[in-house]
Amino acid sequence: MSLEKLIAQFGSITEFPVKVDTVRDWIIKNNYQDEIYFIPTDIDENILRGQFRKYTRHNVTYGDPIFTTNILYAESMNLCWERFVCCKEMMHIFDAPKAVSCTSEQIDALTSSLVSSYIGNLSDSYLAEHDAVISALRVLAPIGAIKKLNDAYGERKKSDYDIARYFRIPEMFVPILFSGDYQSLCDV
Amino acid sequence: MNNVKNILDTLSSSIEGHNLLDVKFFAGKNREVTQEKFCEEANKSLTQFHLGQVEPKKSIDGHLKVVSINDFLK
């Protein structure tokens, strides 16, 4: 599976932070997309941090389709959040067909569930939003590196802030990286 | 549903020969927001891009210093 190839590719890295630009370049070089654009916009990050749009376009009539991804993100975010949002959104390039949302009904269902605190019948596209967060963590803070840091983190020699700054990811995700559930998930 | 239609209209009118394959979102921390407001914000960012008010960034990382994990642990 292509997402697993991507995670494996960045899993052996021993110097951090992983460059999100490098992740983008790998995806293009391996022909999963032709173009990926990161676009800062003036949106309220408290409401929407970013959005992903995948589409095809044509340069010339009857020409080959150009597979394009636009990632629009809130320019008010700090660097760690910008990197994380862009990386997470790129993970959607690998979403399964059943998780795609492109019709008005699908987008209506997805946006409705994203603003709701009610956990009901969750769609595949909604679950893909959460899977993409985990995939982005696996790329930016690979499990091999996290295991090397387990002791230092457990003994409080490295704080959440230290770890977040090292990987250049939002601090709120650091406890997840050191949780047993997350590490078991990565080992599967 | 009208707000979702606005998003789709902005998407389809902006690029010639456009064939939408997927749309996803990274919601902010405010979960008290209405779906209408959420879609308004999504459409706002698309509109800014398609009106040429914003430009793609070549690099999202800037000039980050890279440090080995062994050096970080020292």
In this structure, the number of other CB atoms found within 10 A of the CB of residue A170 comes to: 16
Burial call A60-71: b when 16+ CB within 10 Å, e when fewer? eeeeeeebbbbb
In this structure, the number of other CB atoms found within 10 A of the CB of residue B7 comes to: 22
- Mean pLDDT score across all residues of chain B: 89
Domain ranges of chain A: 2-187
> Could you read off the pLDDT of A91-113 as tens digits, one per residue?
999 999 999 999 999 999 999 98
Chain B residues touching residue A21 (CB < 8 angstroms): 59-61
B17-36: average pLDDT: 91
The number of C-beta contacts closer than 8 angstroms across A and B is 194
B38/A114 Cβ within 8 A: yes
Q: pLDDT at residue A128 above 80? A: yes
B64/A51 Cβ within 8 A: no
A126-150: average pLDDT: 95
Domain assignment present for residue B72? The answer is no
Domain assignment present for residue B69? The answer is no
Q: pLDDT at residue B1 above 70? A: no
B21/A54 Cβ within 8 A: yes
Domain assignment present for residue B40? The answer is yes
Chain A residues touching residue B4 (CB < 8 angstroms): 104, 107-108, 111
Q: Which of A5, A82, A99, A102 is CA-nearest to residue A39?
A: A82
pLDDT at B10: 80
> Could you read off the pLDDT of A11-68 as tens digits, one per residue?
999 999 999 999 999 999 999 999 999 999 999 999 999 999 999 998 888 889 999 9
B22/A95 Cβ within 8 A: yes
- For chain B, say whether A47 makes contact (Cβ under 8 Å): yes
pLDDT at A119: 64
> Which domain, by its residues, includes B49?
2-58
| Cis bond before residue A170 (omega within 30° of 0) | no
pLDDT at B66: 96
A89/B34 Cβ within 8 A: no
Q: Which of A181, A180, A161 is CA-nearest to residue A172?
A: A161
User: Taking a contact as any Cβ pair under 8 Å apart, which residues of chain A between 128 and 167 contact chain B?
Assistant: 128-129, 132, 145, 148-149, 152, 158, 166
Q: How far off is chain B from A30, nearest CA to CA, in Å?
A: 19
Distance separating alpha carbons of residues A27 and A135, to the nearest angstrom: 14
Please count the structural domains in chain B: 1
Q: Which of A82, A112, A128 sits opposite B35 (nearest CB)?
A: A112
Q: How far off is chain A from B31, nearest CA to CA, in Å?
A: 5
Least confident span in A47-51, A112-116, A118-122: A118-122
Domain assignment present for residue B14? The answer is yes
Domain assignment present for residue B70? The answer is no
> Could you read off the pLDDT of A65-90 as tens digits, one per residue?
999 999 999 999 999 999 999 999 99
On the 0-12 / 13-18 / 19+ scale of CB atoms within 10 A, B17 is middle
Q: pLDDT at residue A1 above 90? A: no
